A and B are shown apart, each in its own frame.
Chain A
Amino acid sequence: MAASPKPASFFESSEAGAADRELQRKLENASTRHLDHFAHVKAEYSDYEEERSQSRRIKEHAIAHLDELIVELTGKLKARGCAVFAAATVEEARDYIVNVARNTGSRRVVKGKSMTTEEIGLNPALENAGMEVLETDLGEYIVQLRQEPPSHIITPAIHLSKEDIGALFHEKFGIPYTSEPERLTAEARARLREGFLSADLGVTGVNFAIAETGTLVVIENEGNGRMSSTMPEVFIAVMGIEKVIPRLADVSHFLEVLARTATGQKLTTYTNFIGGPRREGEVDGPREMHVVILDNGRSTMLADPVMREALYCIRCGACLNVCPVYRHIGGHAYRSPYPGPIGSIVSPNLVGSAAGHLPFASTLCGACKDICPVKIDIPRILLHLRWKESARRDLPKWPAPAARARAGARQFARLARHPSAIRLLGKLGAIALKPFARDGWIKRMPPPFSNWTGIRDFPRPRPRRRKIGADED
């Protein structure tokens, strides 16, 4: 299966996603299941809201003291025998990891699921250096076999059906076709187990880093994070600077909310607390452990009082599941390792100006804000980013229909400043539009109104009982 060519822009890729009914069916299916589970575990846990507020408070505190916490964490990690590398950019992080891999003579690399390593583009870098890289989270393994990026931060293969995966395994491994998740999983288990036992280097991300004890917390359900961090002789953990939390006592608040919102579980199957390489006499654990702490635009976000809040994100993925835009166009359309509402915020900072359109890809409905376990006001940040983006001089070109619609909206805005004009227009419009209505909708109008109906349907105007503006005092 060849990689699908990368669409040229977000507009094209989102259109492709929007046209894919099958994709929407899968996303709807998965999101609905997810929300059901979440509602269930939330209702059962009376302290949920309290834990959510507490998590929020801890993040506010942690980010406000980030400089001190980074120093404390690195001191502790070094004291336990870890090598710590602070990377300002993607390139620095990548080069460091490739060098560690080379210096330790590593040939085979196993990876736990990590969006941060997607962000730095680690796999191609290691492969270019002659290494074999194996994604070991089942979903990541599947998308790696398809040579495509993950489409969700928690469920990377959410865009694929079991039939798609059955066909993929049949093609790649020559096994008889089956769409049974149990048999597909067993096949992957056997292949990946062999990888774990023979790998030289393991790489994972980090969910929380406890400054006080110098402990990295990695959570997962499958055991691939445990395997990647204990089986190979060399282990590298990659984390953004924002993952640091002050104390051991803080972590339970996050763990109480994270699995619930992420997957509807009370706790994930494995929560790994990792602090250093193996000690004298131990049979498992790495001989050598490295921690890469990545900035890559995060300190720029920190400097912006509105954007700062985005650094509280614990990557639970729930805002993706509730987002009407994400559910319509799918994760690939965002063309960033971080899709969905939070992705629209962090991507312009982490992957560059190509993602500058993303803050506009939102209805601002606020569902993300309501579900977010750390109460990030995503709509507010999106508006802030829209404002910043529109103040840019070198605005990227909008595709023609969108540009025309914008021009129309501008004219409408001008008109809307005059209440009497808008009232008159409303009345005239209601009469003039009537002949165009079909089944309550207006789908086609002559130019220049076709600029609007070309991209959106318009509800048939109805006689109103109350005058527009009548509810003003």
Chain B
Amino acid sequence: MADLQAIVARVKNALVSSGPAPSHKAPVAPSLQPDGHRAELVSRFAREVEAVGARIIGPVAPEQLADRVAAIVRERGLKSIAVGEGVVVDLSRVGKTLSESGIEVIRTGSVDGSTRPELRKQLAQVDAGLAEADYAIASTGTLAVLSDETRPSALTLLPPASLVVVRVDRMKADLASALAALGHAALESHRLTLITGPSRTADIEKRIVMGVHGPKSLDVIVVWPRDD
């Protein structure tokens, strides 16, 4: 194997032979924008979400969430939905309401070698996925979603319709603040996806088309507890 040491040595030599770089200043940490007034953040977020072709729902009180999701599912004519584990919102209650109203609900959870293929198959066939974002980014209309065994990445990727919940206290002003809030530990152990709108392409004459590989539709539901 061409080894790492050899390449590192070459790089080192190259750096020495070309002299010091124009500036050796260590990069400065991003200025974290204060999260500011909550209502303002939410309205900024809502504007950006709509600008990228997703739909904003809410604010919704936690106790109304299940009904609101059921209403979206009916309105979009979805027959089945996969529901992941929540982060700070209880999604199992939503799952229960949905299945009581006759929707086929798949709950994602830890798998082993024998149960994995089945869940994978289900996720590839289901009409919609419901997940909760760890953080939302107001300045870009972005959802920051970590994945783990109870919240697979496929939830927001494979089904043609994507529903994502985020609680209002998880709203950050900008990308730098959201990454800082997520922290190193989360990134060192989980996969993170920043989602800004439905899957899209502009590869044919720069015309924007939604749903090329991922979801065609994205509904973002902002949960805002009454006493907050």
A-side interface residues toward B, CB under 8 Å? 26, 29-30, 33-34, 54, 57-58, 60-61, 63-64, 66-67, 70-71, 74, 76, 80, 84-89, 92, 136-139, 142, 155-157, 161-162, 165, 181-182, 184-186, 188-189, 192-193, 196-197, 210, 212-215, 221-224, 226-227, 230, 241, 246-253, 255-256, 263, 265-275, 279-285, 293, 295, 299-300, 302-305, 308
Contact = CB atoms under 8 A, between A and B. Distances in A.
Contact of A54 (B28, B180, B197, B214): B28
Given A70-B8, A248-B187, A299-B11, A284 B18 contact: no
B142 to A, nearest CB: 6
A196 B175 CA distance: 30
B6 A86 contact: yes
Interface string B11-43: 111110111111111111110000000000000
Contacts of A192: 213
Nearest to A143: B203
Nearest to B199: A223
A271 B168 CA distance: 22
Given A142-B203, A255-B175, A266-B48, 16 more contacts: A70-B4, A139-B201, A155-B203, A165-B204, A185-B211, A221-B201, A222-B201, A230-B154, A252-B175, A266-B196, A271-B193, A273-B193, A283-B119, A284-B147, A285-B147, A302-B11
Contact of B207 (A26, A54, A181, A270): A181
A379 to B, nearest CB: 17
B152 A282 contact: yes
Contacts, number: 268
A212 B2 CA distance: 24
Contacts of B72: none
Given A54-B27, A86-B4, A282-B111, A302 B18 contact: yes
Contacts of B190: 275
Contacts of A241: 7, 11
Query: Is the interface on chain B under 10, 10 to 19, 20 to 34, or 35 or more residues?
Result: 35 or more
A88 B180 contact: no
Interface in B143-167: 147-149, 152-154, 157
Given A271-B193, A281-B112, A282-B148, A184 B204 contact: yes
B8 A284 contact: no
Contacts of B99: none
Contacts of B123: 283-284
Contacts of A250: 27
A272 B196 contact: no
Contacts of B25: 57, 60-61
A197 B153 contact: no
Contact of B149 (A70, A246, A279): A279
A267 B196 contact: yes
Given A67-B15, A222-B199, A284 B152 contact: yes
Contact of B2 (A66, A87, A223, A255): A87
A189 B123 CA distance: 17
A212 B209 contact: no
A61 B27 contact: yes
A34 B208 CA distance: 12
Nearest to B118: A283
B153 A271 contact: no
B14 A299 contact: yes
Query: Which residue, B193, B200, B204, has most C-beta atoms of chain A within 10 A?
Result: B204
Contacts of A285: 147, 153, 191
Contact of B187 (A30, A70, A74, A215): A215
B78 interface: no
Query: Which residue, A34, A269, A282, has most C-beta atoms of chain B within 10 A?
Result: A269
